[in-house]
Amino acid sequence: MPYEVSIRLAGLEDMDAIVLLDRTLDTLPHWPAAEYRTAIAGPGASPLRCVFVAEFGCRIVGLAVGRVDHIAGERSGELESVGVALAAQRQGVGRELCSNVISWCRSQGASHLDLEVRSQSAGAVALYEGLGFVTEGKRRNYYRDPADDAILMRLDLKPGQADPAAQAGPPA
Ligand SMILES: CC(C)(COP(=O)(O)OP(=O)(O)OC[C@H]1O[C@@H](n2cnc3c(N)ncnc32)[C@H](O)[C@@H]1OP(=O)(O)O)[C@@H](O)C(=O)NCCC(=O)NCCS
């Protein structure tokens, strides 16, 4: 990742830039602004959520959202979305954003992370596989506009397992 790009947790002051970026990327979930506001608003929110942003100068060029739910005595993580501005893609920004979400979910006690991804988003699937996610199943016709299947992927966060964020090399 270029050393000029930094990753940090988002604040409410980033809301406008986050929503703008969300709207420019077709395959992001296009959440209403209120959904992002809730996700950023923690701590104390339930479920626990994190929003990381990638910043280049004063510009937000990437975002990633994660959550941790407490279900039946187990903490379950989810990588809800990740998106990088077209001009900043294929420079390691998406990988670094995901790594931060993974580390955050681990720090919140999650035993694993799940995600759903469009079957036609080959780049995203490759990104997740590179981070250690494995395919667990498929939901047919899960997405609309355009119609697509969802691939279900999981990353186990076993104690002592290597942390992808820790594996990231020094800045280029
Ligand atoms: C998917 C996305 C987040 C990847 O972000 P990125 O910053 O370009 O990804 P990175 O540069 O960190 O790539 C890491 C690895 O992922 C894989 N990858 C990423 N984009 C790829 C593409 N278009 N084609 C093939 N492999 C790709 C590669 O293995 C890559 O490693 P490499 O560059 O060393 O070959 C970005 O393409 C994006 O924002 N897409 C639109 C939104 C989206 O679909 N999000 C996912 C669902 S919510």
- CB 82 near ligand 1, within 6 Å: yes
pLDDT for residue 68? 95
**65 phi and psi angles, rounded to 5 deg:** -125, 135
Half-sphere exposure of 54 (CA within 13 A, CB side): 28
- CB 129 near ligand 1, within 6 Å: no
pLDDT for residue 3? 80
Ligand 1 site-directed mutation target among 23, 30, 90, most atoms within 8 Å of CB: 90
Q: Measured in angstroms, how far is the CA atom of residue 95 from the centroid of ligand 1?
A: 7
Q: Which residues on neighbouring strands pair with residue 51, listed in sequence order? A: 65
Please tell me the CATH code under which domain 5-167 is placed.
Answer: 3.40.630.30
Rounded to whole angstroms, the Cα distance separating 145 from 155 reads 28
Helix (H) or strand (E) holding 100: helix 93-107
- Average pLDDT, integer, range 20-29: 93
- CB 89 near ligand 1, within 6 Å: yes
pLDDT for residue 163? 64
pLDDT at 17 > cutoff 60: yes
pLDDT > 90: what percent of the chain? Answer: 77
Tell me the per-residue pLDDT of 79-103, one tens digit each, with 9 for 90 and over: 999 999 999 999 999 999 999 999 9
Q: Measured in angstroms, how far is the CA atom of residue 127 from the centroid of ligand 1?
A: 5
pLDDT for residue 41? 84
Q: Measured in angstroms, how far is the CA atom of residue 90 from the centroid of ligand 1?
A: 6
Question: DSSP label at 109?
Answer: T
Q: Is the dihedral of CA 119, 91, 50, 31 positive or negative?
A: negative
44 burial type by CB count under 10 A (0-12 exposed, 13-18 middle, 19+ buried): exposed
pLDDT for residue 158? 75
Per-chain mean pLDDT for the chain: 90
pLDDT > 70: what percent of the chain? Answer: 89
pLDDT at 45 > cutoff 90: no
| Residue 51 pLDDT grade (very low, low, confident, very high; cuts 50, 70, 90) | very high
Q: Are the C-beta atoms of 64 and 82 separated by less than 8 Å?
A: yes
Taking CA atoms only, the protein residue closest to ligand 1 atom 25 is: 123
What is the chain's Cα-based Rg?
A: 15
Most confident of 26-40, 41-55, 152-166: 26-40
pLDDT at 172 > cutoff 50: no
pLDDT for residue 47? 77
Of 92, 133, 132, residue with least CA distance to 116: 133
Rounded to whole angstroms, the Cα distance separating 62 from 53 reads 5
Tell me the per-residue pLDDT of 133-171, one tens digit each, with 9 for 90 and over: 999 999 999 998 889 999 999 999 976 666 655 554 444
Amino acid in the structure at residue 102: I
pLDDT at 128 > cutoff 90: yes
Task: Report the atom number in ligand 1 closest to the C-alpha of 124.
Answer: 1
Question: DSSP label at 28?
Answer: S
